[in-house]
Amino acid sequence: MCSIKDLLDLSHTLAAPLFEKAEYPWQVLPELDAFIRALGPTLPPEEYDQTAPNVWVAKSAVVAPTASITGPCIIGPGTEVRHCAFIRGSALVGAWAVVGNSTELKNALLFDGVQVPHYNYIGDSILGYKAHMGAGAITSNVKADRALVRVRDGERVYETGLRKFGAVLGDFVEVGCNAVLNPGTIIGRESMVYPLSCVRGVVPPRSIFKNNGEIVPKSEK
C-alpha cells in the first residue's frame, strides 16, 4: 500500500519524471529541489512568468501580494496562493490548487487540485491529486528524538533514510481540521481522517481514520 502506483496518479503532476526510478514516494523528496531548478527554465514563457530567481508562476495563477515565495518553486496554472501564504522553497504546486492564508510549504510536492486552504503546514511531504487538508491540519516532519523516519505498516517497517519526512496523501484523501500527521504517515487513496486525529503509520485506501485511532472501511460508516 506504500508504493507510488498504489497512491498516486502521476498524470496529475509536472513531477512525473521525478518518480520514474523510485518505488516509494518518499524516495523523491531529496531530489525535489534540483528537479524544480532544472524544470523551471524549460517551462513555456507564454504560460509562465519567472517572478524571482528560481520561481516560476503560471500566468493564470493568482498570487496575493502578501504571499512570500522563495525559490526553487513552481506554481501551476489556475492555482490560488492566498494572503500571507509562506512558501519556503523546494515546492512544486500543481494546477488548480489552493495554498491558503498563513499556510506554509517547505520541500513539498502538491499534485493538481490539492487544497491546503487554511493555516496548514506541509513539510517534506507529497499530497496526491485533489487531496484536501482541513483548517489547521499539519504534517509533522521531524521526530522528537531526531532519529531517521520509518514508515510502519503493521509488522512491516520501511527504512526511509530521511531525517525529515512528513506524510504522503494518496489521491482524493480528506484530512479533517486540526489533525496531525506524524512523521512517516501514509494515507491511502480516497481515505478520510477525522478532525483532531493524531495519525501515524499507514492508513489503507478507502478507509476512515477515527480520532480514537480506530480504522474502518468507508463502507462501514
d(CA 166, CA 45): 33
Query: CB-based contacts of 181: which residues, under 8 Å, 6+ apart?
Result: 125, 137, 138, 139, 140, 166, 167, 175, 187, 193, 199
**219 pLDDT above the threshold of 90:** no
The residue extents of the domains of the chain are: 4-213
119-175 pLDDT, tens digit each = 999 999 999 999 999 999 999 999 999 999 999 998 999 999 999 999 999 999 999
Report which of 84, 17, 93, 29 is spatially closest to residue 55, judged by C-alpha positions.
93
Q: For residue 211, what pLDDT band results from cuts at 50, 70 and 90?
A: confident
Terminal CA-to-CA distance of the chain, rounded, Å? 22
* CATH number, span 4-213: 2.160.10.10
pLDDT at 6: 97
Q: Give yes or no for a contact between 94 and 75, defined as CB atoms under 8 angstroms apart.
A: no
As a whole number, the mean pLDDT across the chain is 97
pLDDT at 221: 47
Mean pLDDT of 54-75: 98
Site of grid cell 500527521: 181
d(CA 92, CA 84): 18
**107 pLDDT above the threshold of 70:** yes
User: pTM of the predicted model, to two decimals?
Assistant: 0.97
